[in-house]
Amino acid sequence: MKSNIELRKEILELVEEYYHAKFKTQPFQPGISVVPYAGRVFDERELVRLVDSSLDFWLTAGRNAEEFESEFANYLGLSDAILVNSGSSANLVAMSTLTSPKLKDRALKPGDEVITVAAGFPTTIAPIVQNQLVPVFVDVELGTYNAIPQQIEEAVSEKTKAIFIAHTLGNPFELDKVLEIAKKNSLWIIEDNCDALGSRYKNKLTGTFGDIATCSFYPAHHITMGEGGCVVTNNEDLARIARSFRDWGRDCYCGAGEDNTCGIRFSQKFGDLPVGYDHKYVYSHIGYNLKVTDMQAAVGVEQLKKLEGFVAKRKENFKMLHEGLMKYNDNFILPSATQNSDPAWFSFIITVKPGQKFTRNEIVQYLNTNKIHTRNLFGGNLIKQPAFMEIKKRVYGNLKNTDYIMDNTFFIGVYPGNGKEQIDYILEKLKGFIG
């Protein structure tokens, strides 16, 4: 009988063979092949590692999660990376972390305000509401689609305690100015880096400027593990709190299958519990269970090795689109990188200028008919969404640009699965539409 080691080797060799049989790249056929706005890009290495992890049958977070967290923190140059099951969960954990009583007078309390934008993804806002905090919406700039720093500054009130904004579609927000506002007013900064992994501002990676940041590994993002996300920070106190919120709210930091990592499991005193109450079941936060499985993390470990290559391809695709669309400057507002930034673009965002013979919906329908996938800038103006209409909120100004984006903006893909053939096809179709 073969040993488990021999069998494992055979299985993994077969998996590699299976990958080539199943996922062979198909040639691009204009008009027949779809041009996705995003998607998973992988090879046999992800599949082999995924199956290898499944053969461990550890199931919950294990060796691969540990490796990913460590390598991801190293990539960002931060002390801690806390894997969770989605970018939205990362946002929830990051926001909740700042409400921890362990932060004493710096902890956010119900009714405190958090400055954000409405032109974005709902789960940047949802954790603010879920934590009984009050979102304060400021407008964004057309072209960069990022929060306008002057509006952030003017929106700060006595109740404002944090800024929670995204680097929209990979384009860094004006970090110098936002950091200055935060410093001046003692505000926390959460960087929603879900769409911007690999972006740089003044040669420094986004996600490393704020107190805490979040990333997403949904298939549409720069790297994927299917479902997955991460909270990152260089503040070890915040990291421990974030782990607690992720892991049921417990005080103990043992990983799955571990006991007494702290070495003082039965000799501490917490709350009104008796001395020595098992630390494994001591809860310091009202938490969640948002961990990943080790199989998700296994895919992430291989994807992370490819991140820089993926980012380079995104930039290349973006450049081709930008050069090809420059001649339509009268028709479109094309995306522009924030000054001093080097974005790892999530997508190519386009806004239809006023006075065109066509609407955003018409061009989007045309593109989709030609198998070119498009997306709107997520929720448009989120405060007009059913879920957000009745929430407690404050709106600074009139969100004029946000409304304009809701009506006139869409994006197309620059993801690494697309190449010159797909980009040329997009440009050809747009030329056919505009004339």
Partner 1 sequence: MANPRKLKAKVVDMFDYCANVRKLKLQVEGTLPRFKPGQFLHLSIYDYDPSFNWPESRCFSLANAPNSENEIELVISKKGEYTSKIFDQIKPGDHVWIKLPYGVFNFDDSIKGSSILIAGGTGVSPFISFLRYILTTSLDPKIKLYYGIRDKEVFMIDNLISECISKLENFSYSFFIEQDPGNFNFNYSTGYLDVDGIIEESKLIPDTLYYLSGPPQMIKVFEDKLILNGIDNKNIRFDKWE
- Annotated active-site positions, please? 221
CB of 60 to partner 1, least distance (A): 12
Tokens 């917490």 correspond to what residue? 270
Nearer to partner 1, 60 or 132 (CB): 60
Q: Give the whole-angstrom CA distance, residue 222 versus residue 317.
A: 14
Binding mask 249-278 for partner 1 (x = CB under 8 A): ----x-x-xx-xxxxxxxx-----------
Please report, in angstroms and rounded to a whole number, the separation of the first and last CA atoms in the chain. 70
Binding mask 77-96 for partner 1 (x = CB under 8 A): --xxx---------------
The helix or strand, by DSSP H or E, that contains position 21, with its residue range, turns out to be helix 4-22
Nearer to partner 1, 81 or 162 (CB): 81
Binding mask 227-246 for partner 1 (x = CB under 8 A): ---------x--xx------
**Residue 204: what are its φ and ψ, rounded to 5°?**
-115, 140
CB of 266 to partner 1, least distance (A): 6
396 neighbors 160 (Cβ within 8 angstroms): no
The yes or no reply on residue 8 touching partner 1 (CB under 8 A) is no
Interacting residue with partner 1 among 36, 62, 170, 287 (CB under 8 A): 62
Query: How many other C-beta atoms lie within 10 A of the C-beta of residue 206?
Result: 30
- The sign of the CA dihedral 223, 225, 229, 235 is negative
Nearer to partner 1, 262 or 427 (CB): 262
53 neighbors 429 (Cβ within 8 angstroms): no
Residues 6+ apart with CB under 8 A from 367: 373, 374, 412, 426, 429, 430, 433
Pairing of strands 212-216, 188-192: parallel
The yes or no reply on residue 70 touching partner 1 (CB under 8 A) is yes
Nearer to partner 1, 252 or 372 (CB): 252
Interacting residue with partner 1 among 1, 57, 104, 272 (CB under 8 A): 57
The yes or no reply on residue 60 touching partner 1 (CB under 8 A) is no
Binding site for partner 1 (CB under 8 A): 56-58, 62-63, 66-67, 69-71, 73-74, 79-81, 236, 239-240, 253, 255, 257-258, 260-267
